[in-house]
């Protein structure tokens, strides 16, 4: 990555912080709103549950007061019930409801539910169990001071658990209530008999006599709250995650796009450089080619000059040596004649050297014109030429038929001329001389060979044979310039082939080559 994209990365990190902050703020706001809503819902739900209990109570109260009481008074008026009879178990709505609620709680407990606290809390109850506690007393006063207030609710904690405490005025004292709750003396004698104290008496019309105080656990509602909260929080988390991921992906795409753009620019630059380098190279190749062409041309004229200018003096030396021998032979003694003979032999040998050198230089120059060449036929012609030149020699030629390769006919002729010529030369002192031109498979490739049973050579010098002017025999043993095999190797190499020699002293030689 380049420095630019690193800068971009830190910039996007900054970006993430911003997003995280915004997401946190939104999450908090949403959570707060949700909490408010949920809290309200939970309270309402809890209240509704409590209300259900209270409404059941109210129904009970009404039934007692609206059905049972008139029936009781009617029976009393008819004398069916004794004047003094009073039993709260069947006449006091608060007694009945309290005990009904007690039974209700027992049922709840049996069903595995927590009890619901309920009290008909009064400041001056007939039954002490209905006596309001400090909090309830305060509530009764509050309701009395503000008659408009119909409901009070509060979440209270008891033993670390939340409860919804609801209170509502039970009833406002009316004139008819005074029959039993007014002056003690005015109340039914049965009642007086039953309740000796002042509890439940001396109430005033218009006053709120009692409140219904009820308290229900909020566990279930909270459970719901937890679920709501957890799920909304999880949702928010997922949302934030998606948002973050989206931003990240976008940033990654942006960074990658920028990197790619950078890469494209760099590639173009590299391509441009390569193109320029190529141009330079091409120019250089052109220059070198021109230089090589010039050098080749120089070499050509050099070779031409060698061919002419070195040979002409030789011819003079040889010619005039012979003229001396012919014209002044009788004036020369044997030694002088021998010297002149040596001069002439040297001239011929130097002439051969020049010719072979020229051939060696010629095979390195010029282009190769490849065509199908029948080497078997060519070897046959050469064998015939050799035999014709020295008819007295007896040599058996074995030439494998139909050896055809793809190469330059002139250069391949030089190869076979040299190899067969060598074989011919080095079998000169061999009885039953045999020269073979054949082919064999070597590692899936066709290899050609020229084999003789002549003088052979020491394998220690096998590598040296292909070096120009390197000879393994003295001119007295076998004549030669030492250029032939160098020429052969150069031609084979120019054809993309290879050549090697195999043999032993007195055991003949074999030259393997491929084209």
Partner 1 sequence: MRTNMILLVEDNPDDEALTLRALQKNNIINEVVVARDGVEALDFLFGTGVYAGRDLSLMPEVILLDINLPKINGLEVLEKIRANERTRLLPVVILTTSNEEQDKIKSYTLGANSFIRKPVDFQQFSEAIRQLGVYWLVLNQGPPLVKG
The binding site for partner 1 (CB under 8 A) comprises 303-304, 307-308, 311-316, 318-323, 344, 347-348, 350-351, 355, 358
HEC states along 316-384? Answer: HHHHHHHHHHHHHHHHCCHHHHHHHHHHHHHHHHHHHHHHHHHHHHHHHCCCCCEEEEEHHHHHHHHHH
Closest CB to partner 1 among 245 and 295?
295
Closest CB to partner 1 among 16 and 339?
339
Contact 515, 495 (CB under 8 A): yes
Closest CB to partner 1 among 321 and 418?
321
Give least dist CB 319 to partner 1, A.
4
Closest CB to partner 1 among 320 and 461?
320
User: For residue 166, which of 130, 134, 127, 136 has the smallest C-alpha distance?
Assistant: 136
Give least dist CB 473 to partner 1, A.
23
405, 440, 497 from 512: Cα distances, Å: 15, 9, 11
Give least dist CB 351 to partner 1, A.
3
Contacts of 330 (CB under 8 A, 6+ apart): none
Contacts of 193 (CB under 8 A, 6+ apart): 84, 86
Give least dist CB 289 to partner 1, A.
21
3-state secondary structure of 149: coil
Closest CB to partner 1 among 76 and 311?
311
3-state secondary structure of 118: strand
CA distance between the termini of the chain: 53
Q: How far apart (Å, rounded) are the C-alpha atoms in residues 60 and 333? A: 176
H or E element in which residue 170 lies: strand 161-172
Closest CB to partner 1 among 435 and 483?
483
- Both tokens of 151, joined, read 């409901």
Give least dist CB 312 to partner 1, A.
5
Strands (E) in 174-251, as ranges, are 208-217
Q: How far apart (Å, rounded) are the C-alpha atoms in residues 463 and 468? A: 12
User: For residue 430, which of 399, 395, 465 has the smallest C-alpha distance?
Assistant: 395
Give least dist CB 490 to partner 1, A.
18
Closest CB to partner 1 among 153 and 349?
349
Can you give the C-alpha Rg of the chain in angstroms?
67
Give least dist CB 338 to partner 1, A.
17
Give least dist CB 310 to partner 1, A.
9
Give least dist CB 362 to partner 1, A.
8
Closest CB to partner 1 among 202 and 390?
390
- Both tokens of 19, joined, read 């997003």
Closest CB to partner 1 among 347 and 379?
347
122, 150, 216 from 154: Cα distances, Å: 19, 14, 11
Closest CB to partner 1 among 308 and 388?
308
Residues in the chain: 515
Give least dist CB 414 to partner 1, A.
13
């Amino acid at each position: 990555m380049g420095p630019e994209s690193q800068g971009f990365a830190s910039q996007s990190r900054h970006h993430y912080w911003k997003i995280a902050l915004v997401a946190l703020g939104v999450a908090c706001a949403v959570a707060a709103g949700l909490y408010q809503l949920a809290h309200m819902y939970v309270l309402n739900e809890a209240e509704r549950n409590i209300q259900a209990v209270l409404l059941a109570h109210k129904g009970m109260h009404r039934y007692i007061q609206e059905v049972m009481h008139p029936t009781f008074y009617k029976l009393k008026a008819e004398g069916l019930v004794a004047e003094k009879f009073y039993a709260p178990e069947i006449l006091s709505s608060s007694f009945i409801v309290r005990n009904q609620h007690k039974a209700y709680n027992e049922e709840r407990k049996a069903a595995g539910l927590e009890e619901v606290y309920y009290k008909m809390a009064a400041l001056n109850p007939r039954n002490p169990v209905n006596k309001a506690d400090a909090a309830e007393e305060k509530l009764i006063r509050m309701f009395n001071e503000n008659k408009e207030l119909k409901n009070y609710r509060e979440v209270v904690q008891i033993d670390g658990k939340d409860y919804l405490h609801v209170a509502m005025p039970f009833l406002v004292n009316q004139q008819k209530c005074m029959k039993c709750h007014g002056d003690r003396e005015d109340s039914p004698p049965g009642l007086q008999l039953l309740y000796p104290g002042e509890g439940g008496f001396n109430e005033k019309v218009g006053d709120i006599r009692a409140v219904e105080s009820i308290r229900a656990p909020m566990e279930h509602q909270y459970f719901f709250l937890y679920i709501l909260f957890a799920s909304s929080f999880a949702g928010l988390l997922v949302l934030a995650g998606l948002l973050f991921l989206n931003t990240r992906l976008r940033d990654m795409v942006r960074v990658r796009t920028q990197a790619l753009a950078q890469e494209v620019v760099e590639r173009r630059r590299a391509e441009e450089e390569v193109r320029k380098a190529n141009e330079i190279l091409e120019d250089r190749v052109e220059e070198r080619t021109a230089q090589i062409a010039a050098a080749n041309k120089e070499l050509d004229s050099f070779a031409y000059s060698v061919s002419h200018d070195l040979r002409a003096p030789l011819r003079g030396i040889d010619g005039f040596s012979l003229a001396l021998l012919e014209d002044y032979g009788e004036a020369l003694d044997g030694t002088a004649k021998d010297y002149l003979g040596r001069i002439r032999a040297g001239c011929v040998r130097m002439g051969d050297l020049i010719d072979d050198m020229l051939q060696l230089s010629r095979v390195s120059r010029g282009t190769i014109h490849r065509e199908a060449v029948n080497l078997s036929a060519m070897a046959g012609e050469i064998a015939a030429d050799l035999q014709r030149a020295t008819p007295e020699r007896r040599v058996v030629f074995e030439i494998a038929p139909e050896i055809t390769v793809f190469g330059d006919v002139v250069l391949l002729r030089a190869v076979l001329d040299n190899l067969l010529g060598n074989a011919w030369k080095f079998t000169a002192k061999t009885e039953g001389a045999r020269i073979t031109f054949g082919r064999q498979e070597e590692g899936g490739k066709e290899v050609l060979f020229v084999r003789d049973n002549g003088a052979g050579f020491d394998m220690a010098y096998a590598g040296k044979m292909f070096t120009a002017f390197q000879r393994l025999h003295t001119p007295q043993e076998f004549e030669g310039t030492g250029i032939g095999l160098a020429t052969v190797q150069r031609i084979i190499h120019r054809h993309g082939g290879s050549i090697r020699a195999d043999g032993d002293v007195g055991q003949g030689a074999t030259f393997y080559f491929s084209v």
